[in-house]
Amino acid sequence: MLNGSCHCKAIKYEASADILAAYHCHCRTCREIHGTVYGTSVMVHKEGFEVTAGRDIMSAYESTPGKKRCFCSKCGSHVFVINQAMPEIVVLRLGNLTPGHGITPTHHFWLSHKEPWYEIRDDLPQSQEM
């Protein structure tokens, strides 16, 4: 069971589904949304995912048509993504998960958008797109 929350703990969720993927995304949108050099995400099946607290204070931002990024309206944490193109999937933010989950990203995606000043220093596979 995965558990996670926003920074202020007002929004909490759990996911009982198996992890489908864990990765670092270097696309411009992830960089801007996270305010970092890349965003690290975990894909799980929507079945088994549940927001257990704070649904009433969640805000959603449609970053691209059909892709909604859900945030805490209190602390601003980006918590998860729902995408109409993949309705059976929820994309969680690895940094929001309770420590001890044991998840390790396995890939770097969207290297075509990577900042040129950032040097990847691991041996994970890399893809120009996703």
**86 in any annotated domain:** yes
pLDDT at 92 exceeding the cut of 90: yes
pLDDT, one tens digit per residue, over 67-88 is: 999 999 999 999 999 999 999 9
DSSP the chain: -EEEE-TTSSSEEEE-SPEEEEEEE--HHHHHHHTSS-EEEEEEESTTEEEEE-GGGEEEEEEETTEEEEEETTT--EEEEEETTSTTEEEEEGGGBPTT-------EE-GGG--TT----S---B-S--
Q: How many domains does the chain have?
A: 1
**126 in any annotated domain:** no
**125 in any annotated domain:** no
**29 in any annotated domain:** yes
35 versus 130: the higher-pLDDT residue is 35
**120 in any annotated domain:** no
64 versus 126: the higher-pLDDT residue is 126
Range of the domain at 85: 2-113
**41 in any annotated domain:** yes
Q: Which CATH number belongs to the domain containing residue 58 in this structure?
A: 2.170.150.70
pLDDT of residue 70: 96
**128 in any annotated domain:** no
Mean pLDDT of 37-43: 95
Q: Which of 10-14, 30-34, 37-41, 88-92 has the lowest mean pLDDT?
A: 30-34
Mean pLDDT of 86-98: 95
**85 in any annotated domain:** yes
pLDDT of residue 77: 95
pLDDT, one tens digit per residue, over 7-33 is: 999 999 999 978 999 999 999 999 998
pLDDT of residue 130: 82
pLDDT of residue 129: 92
Mean pLDDT of 92-119: 95
